[in-house]
Amino acid sequence: MERIAYFDNNATTRVAPEVVDAMMPFLREAYGNPSSMHAFGGGVAKKIAAAREEVARFINADPSEIIFTSCATESDNTAIRGSAEFLGKGTKVITTAVEHPAVLQPCRRLKADGFDEVELPVDGVGQIDPGRLREELKNSSGRAVVSAMWANNETGTVFPVEEIAAICREAGAVFHVDAVQAAGKAPIDVRKVPVDLLSLSGHKFHAPKGIGILYARRGVKFRPFMLGGHQEESRRAGTENVPYIVGLAKACELARLGMEEESARIRAMRDRLEAGILAACPDVRVNGDRSRRLSNTLNVSFEYIEGESIAYHLSDLGICVSTGSACASGSLDPSHVIRAMGVPFTAVHGSVRFSLSRYNSEDDVDYVLEKLPPVIARLRDLSPFGPGKGGVTTYE
């Protein structure tokens, strides 16, 4: 393989060298348990406190509102199930049809446990209707938990989180936001957008896998998911993952200081990639809200062929892309996000996601634009579908 052109940054990102450097002392000499009474452990506890302050600064929260977890999946489960179970049966749980499985599955488990669960539909660009949410809250019993993502992991579509937050506050509903894909790509301010609970994952913005946070606004009540010791003010038991917490804080600092310039550069590359694909490949559609979209994400459907075949052929050329959520990559079913948007039958199986990061270059874009069109042409030649081939030739 000549080279790697990595365009799967919504699945995971390269750990920043600065993050690795920040972590190393806590993998070597500063190995004390932060809960220990001796000074050696106490010194480590101070580093956790400093990391908590940096993470809080990243989203404009108070340090006491930051809970360190193992990942966003844990944070999502804690927020959704913990708050619904605290409120008790009769609580209405509202989410959207395009959420990550880490949100959809806890909501559906609550439904199986007797809670009233609703999944709001989206339109053709993946946006929800805030008015529909308002109506669902009016029809609740007065107790509700709403979970909606800040930005979609597959299409990059950005939800109107400020409006959703205002609707939830007016109705007295608990509002949880899965902000995993937005972190490091768009500013997050929990004072400007008054969410109650918010989930982040470090490995989506150049921290290592295995560390996440749950922001819990002061006064918000939930039932802890991890039981045991007193860590995280008894909100999440378990000895703290010190090196990864420190690494996450460094990643937050890097993102906070460089986000504006970095996003502009990445957006320009993404837009050039998009324009090049549309110019070189016929029968292609862009999925998602192009007017409200993350700067790094491009989801396109190539009609009459399968996204899995495209991804495999590109992989042989050293180009890394995705056909949907990394958590669903073992499934051959079309993406639930693309299906929920009503993408036509001829295109629903052919969706491919390109997601960029600070480590992508213009050369990477050139390489994709050189190698992708022949792959698409070859797969179309092999496909039994398409115009003039006797297969499906029109949208249905």
Cα–Cα distance, 238 to 337 (Å, whole number): 34
The per-residue pLDDT for 2 is 74
Mean pLDDT (10-residue bins), the chain, 396 residues: 90 98 96 92 94 98 98 98 96 97 98 96 97 93 93 98 97 97 97 97 98 97 93 94 98 96 97 98 96 97 94 97 63 83 91 97 98 97 74 43
Q: How far apart are CA 56 and CA 60, in angstroms?
A: 6
Query: pLDDT value at position 338?
Result: 95
327 is catalytic: yes
Identify whether the C-beta of residue 378 lies closer than 8 Å to the C-beta of residue 16: no
**Structure token pair of residue 220:** 């918000």
Residue ranges with strand state E in 51-182: 66-69, 92-96, 116-120, 144-149, 174-178
Q: What's residue 393's pLDDT?
A: 43
Burial 111-122 (b: 16+ CB within 10 A, else e): eeeebbbbbbeb
Q: How far is CA 30 from CA 34, 182, 202, 231, 247, in A?
A: 10, 32, 21, 19, 14
Look at the block and give the residue holding tokens 């039994």: 384
| Residues facing 96 on adjacent strands | 120
Instruction: Domains for the chain: give ranges and CATH numbers.
Output: 5-13+259-382 (3.90.1150.10), 17-255 (3.40.640.10)
> What predicted TM-score, i.e. pTM, was given to this entire model?
0.93
In the chain, what is the straight-line distance between the N-terminal and C-terminal CA atoms, in Å? 40
pLDDT value at residue 235:
95
Tell which residue, 173, 177, 160, 164, has the closest CA to residue 133: 164
What pLDDT score does 331 carry?
53
- Cβ pair 140, 174 in contact under 8 A: no
Q: Of 140, 164, 362, which Cα lies nearest the Cα of 265?
A: 362
